[in-house]
Every structure is written in structure tokens, then in C-alpha cells.
Amino acid sequence: MIVMDGVSLAKLVIASGNRHKYEEFRGLLAPLGIELLFGGDFDAPIEVEETGTTFVENATLKAAAWAQYAGLPAISDDSGIEVRALGWQPGIYSSRIGGEDDEACRQWLISNMADKTDRFARYAAALVLAFPDGKPHWHTLAYCNGSVIQDKRGTNGFGYDPLFIPEGYDQTFGELPASVKSRISHRAKASQAFIEMLHSLRSR
């Protein structure tokens, strides 16, 4: 059993109603043998207003609220895409800048990048662990650099994945198999930092 600051991490709440994120985390964190609970499966899932100005602040708000609500440790990510030619937009507004669904947001990006030659972009993911006392006890911020294209390619993943080509590859996250994305993505890097932190606890 993994214990941190006197709190058991045998069960963790994934502080999100996004099943795509839950399934991705379940795969990434499988080596730990921790029971992961999906926020969307609770009888009355809570909605947390994301009033932070950074990915870390928003992830902290969600993790703390869910930990207090569930009475269990909770882990939350806040992630998005940052495009250099757009002044690092959409950033924390990635999931809603174009509307209420992924396709509307993708179309916003395509439209705003139509006349841009600088295609550099990066996916960012902040990961925060909070306990039922409502305080964050660990966090990390990870990036996956790449570029954005004008025409969607691939049907894997979600969000901006069909428009994002990670550095070192010629396929989008929408085309690359999940086995590759689970090694190189922003969320994979953040999760790996979390796993390494937990392994350090085990070795004490």
C-alpha cells in the first residue's frame, strides 16, 4: 500500500467527468495497482468552476473539490494546447474557446491559423493530487511539443489530436496508435512524473 503524508493512496478519484481522460489515465496508471474511481460514475458528480489563470491552478481547484466531496484522495489534470502564433492561445480555454464541443474548437483553431506560417504548438498538462483536507499535496506540469496542421487527420484521441503532430513524427495524435501516444503525450509525461513520485514513496 502506498501512503503519503499519512493518507492511503489505495483508491484515487479521477476528478473529471470526461471519460476519455479517465480511460487514458487508467491505462497510464495501471502499473501502480491503484483503484481508480471515475468522477462521472458518482451519483451526483460535481461541476467545478475553472476560475484559475493557469493549468496548475485549474487542476488544483478540481482536485481539491473532488477530494473533499468524495472523502478520498483525488487527482486532476488540466490540459490544453498552446499555439505560439496565437500568443499561446487557446491555453486554459482549449476545451471551450470555439464552442461546447471538440469539433467547434478544432474549427476555431483551423480558422485562426489559416494565414500563419509559424505552426509551432505544444500540448500542456498539469497534474495535481489533493487530499480530503482540500489541500494540494503534489503537482507537476508537462509538455509535448509539435506543430498544428490545417486539415484534420485521423480519428483516434480527442480534442485537437487530429490537428497536432508531435515532434519527431509525421502523423497526428489522431493517426498515431494509442501505444505511442501513451508514451510521448503531455498527459503521459505528467503521469510518469506521478508514478515516479509514488515509486519514491514505496522505496522509503
| pLDDT of amino acid 203 | 57
Give the H/E segment covering residue 35. strand 35-38
Q: Are 109 and 160 in contact (CB under 8 A)?
A: yes
The three cell numbers locating residue 117:
506560417
> Is 41 known to be catalytic?
no
Confidence of residue 204 (pLDDT cuts 50, 70, 90): low
Q: Kindly report the length of the chain.
A: 204
Which residues are within 8 A (CB) of 13 and not within 5 positions of it... i.e. 6 or more apart? 36, 37, 39, 66, 67, 70, 72, 73, 74, 75
| pLDDT of amino acid 8 | 87
CA dist 121 and 94 (Å) reads 13
Condensed to tens digits (0 to 9), the pLDDT of residues 118-152 reads 999 999 999 999 999 988 999 999 999 999 999 99
Does the structure show a pLDDT above 90 at 164?
yes
Condensed to tens digits (0 to 9), the pLDDT of residues 107-116 reads 999 999 999 9
Three-state SS string across 136-197, please? EEEEEEEEEEEEECCCCCCCCCCCCHHHEEECCCCCCCCCCCHHHHHHHCHHHHHHHHHHHH
What is the CA angle 168-175-89, rounded to 5?
A: 70
The three cell numbers locating residue 51:
476560475
Lowest mean pLDDT among 54-68, 149-163, 185-199: 185-199
Condensed to tens digits (0 to 9), the pLDDT of residues 59-77 reads 999 999 999 999 999 999 9
Please indicate, yes or no, whether the overall pTM of this predicted structure exceeds 0.85: yes
Condensed to tens digits (0 to 9), the pLDDT of residues 4-62 reads 888 888 899 999 888 888 888 888 788 788 899 999 899 888 999 999 999 999 999 99
**Which residue has cell 499519512?**
6
CA dist 63 and 96 (Å) reads 20
CA dist 178 and 190 (Å) reads 16
**What residue type is 59 in one-letter code?**
A
The SS3 of residue 3 is strand
* Mean per-residue pLDDT, 94-105: 91
- The one catalytic residue in 77, 78, 102, 161 is 78
Domain boundaries, the chain: 3-202
3-202 fold: Maf protein (3.90.950)
CA dist 94 and 110 (Å) reads 13
